[in-house]
Structure 1
């Protein structure tokens, strides 16, 4: 089904024509010319059934005896085909929040997820004839798309080797928008934006996953600290030896590196011990 323009004339011109027909019918009935008067009255009533008012950002789908006659998108008052059934479809931008869905991410962890969908109708004929109750169709397909995207990625990871639902919100939103648009093309709906509004671990594992996140964060931080400390210790030894400040054997080099690592890696400030010599020296 493809949308097309319905036959319609300007409503003001049509109303003037309608008034003229009614006046002529009244004149003929007044002079007791019944047949012309009745014919003109029937024509006027027929024209009156075609009066249609279209609000801004709305489309009126015109149907006559089960056949799609076209749509009226211009706002204003019009007279279209008489004795037609007309259905008004809003072309305004709308949005809705999906329900909180409980799904498993790619790693099998149960999570709660929800999204806000911003959309509008761009083809009123498809919205009316190709799907039944397009608003409900959009809602169900949105939940299906959110579930599908949620199962493709992990909730979170500290290794930065893959996309995650929590760490790559923009990429996830773009993919959700693309997938939802592909599902809704049949209904004549354009998806403007689809963005996650709620994302959390399910309640039964939330505490355990929080501890796991904290442990992963601590391990990641300690790893970075150790790598930095090793590099600093190596630089310090190399500079001391290159400048000829000291000449260390292997044992003293190991001792100095150990002291430097302890000083850098320790969570608390280290306390130096000053050797002032022995009493018997």
Structure 2
């Protein structure tokens, strides 16, 4: 199915004719003009079935005995084919908040994830006739796409290269929007935006994963401290040699050891004064 523009006439003219026909039918029955009264009443009933009102940002899909005649998007009062059925479809932008889903990421870790999807109907014929209850179709496909995207990436890559659910939310949002558009195009729905609203490890592994993150942070911090300490020790030895101090390999090793311990240690260094030897 593909949306086509439906035929509609001026609804105000039809409304005036309807009121005039109703008034004439009442007058005819009072004057006992039975035939003319019945004809006027029948015309009034026909006009009643052909007048429809379309609200702003709303469309009326017109069907006549099972045949799709077209869609009316212009707001106002319209005159359509008598005895036709009008299905009202909202064209407003809507949000869908998914429930919190529990899925496994690419590493097999259970995570909880949820998203919000912003969408609107752009093809009313597809939304009504190609799928059954397009609102439920949007909900089901949104959750299915969210599960699929979550299984393609790890929750966290630990500072390494690659896309992760926690560290690359913009990339995940673009990927989710693209996949949703592919799934929902069959329902005539345009996906405007999708964003993650909740992301966390499942409760059964949250504690262990927190300890792992803390350990990774400590290791990364220690790595930076060691790199800085090595540079400081090298600079200190080079400075002493430039000022004329001659250090043999044993003294260099002892000095490097002392400086590394003093810089890298968590506790403050305790100075030891060398007063010389008695012998």
TM (norm. structure 1) is 0.91
In structure 2, the partner of 1:262 is 261
Q: Quick one: distance in 2 between partners of 1:240 and 1:276?
A: 21
SS at 1:194 equivalent: strand
Please show how residues 152-191 of structure 1 align to structure 2 within 5 Å.
152-191=152-191
Question: 1:158 touches 1:220 (CA, 8 Å); kept in 2?
Answer: no
In structure 1, the partner of 2:272 is 273
SS at 2:161 equivalent: coil
In structure 2, the partner of 1:217 is 217
In structure 1, the partner of 2:70 is 70
In structure 1, the partner of 2:238 is 238
Structure 1 runs not aligned, ≥5 long: none
Q: Which moved more, 1:24-33 or 1:53-62?
A: 24-33
CA apart distance, 1:56 = 1.5
Spell out, residue by residue over 1:158-211, the C-alpha distance to the aligned partner (whole angstroms, 9 max, x if none).
232111111111111111111111100111111122111121212222222222
Q: Quick one: distance in 1 between partners of 2:145 and 2:232?
A: 50
SS at 1:255 equivalent: helix
Q: Quick one: distance in 2 between partners of 1:164 and 1:52?
A: 52
Q: Quick one: distance in 2 between partners of 1:136 and 1:256?
A: 73
SS at 1:183 equivalent: helix
Q: Which moved more, 1:128-137 or 1:204-213?
A: 204-213
CA apart distance, 1:240 = 3.2
Q: Is residue 116 of structure 1 aligned with residue 116 of structure 2? A: yes
In structure 2, the partner of 1:206 is 206
Query: How many residues end up aligned between the 2 structures?
Result: 279
SS at 2:200 equivalent: strand
CA apart distance, 1:23 = 4.8
In structure 2, the partner of 1:106 is 106
Spell out, residue by residue over 1:78-124, the C-alpha distance to the aligned partner (whole angstroms, 9 max, x if none).
22111011111111121122122111110111111111112111111
Q: Quick one: distance in 1 between partners of 2:60 and 2:239?
A: 82
CA apart distance, 1:25 = 5.2
Displaced runs of 4 or more, over 3 A: 20-41
In structure 1, the partner of 2:83 is 83
Q: Quick one: distance in 2 between partners of 1:16 and 1:240?
A: 105
SS at 1:246 equivalent: coil
Q: Which moved more, 1:210-219 or 1:231-240?
A: 231-240
Structure 2 runs not aligned, ≥5 long: none
Spell out, residue by residue over 1:198-251, the C-alpha distance to the aligned partner (whole angstroms, 9 max, x if none).
21212222222222222222112212221222222223323333x334222221
CA apart distance, 1:32 = 6.3
Give the root-mean-square deviation of aligned CA atoms: 2.1
Question: 1:96 touches 1:116 (CA, 8 Å); kept in 2?
Answer: yes
Please show how residues 87-98 of structure 1 align to structure 2 within 5 Å.
87-98=87-98
Question: 1:58 touches 1:88 (CA, 8 Å); kept in 2?
Answer: yes
Q: Quick one: distance in 2 between partners of 1:80 and 1:228?
A: 80
CA apart distance, 1:11 = 2.1
Q: Quick one: distance in 1 between partners of 2:263 and 2:244?
A: 22
Question: 1:156 touches 1:164 (CA, 8 Å); kept in 2?
Answer: yes
Question: 1:127 touches 1:188 (CA, 8 Å); kept in 2?
Answer: yes
SS at 2:195 equivalent: strand
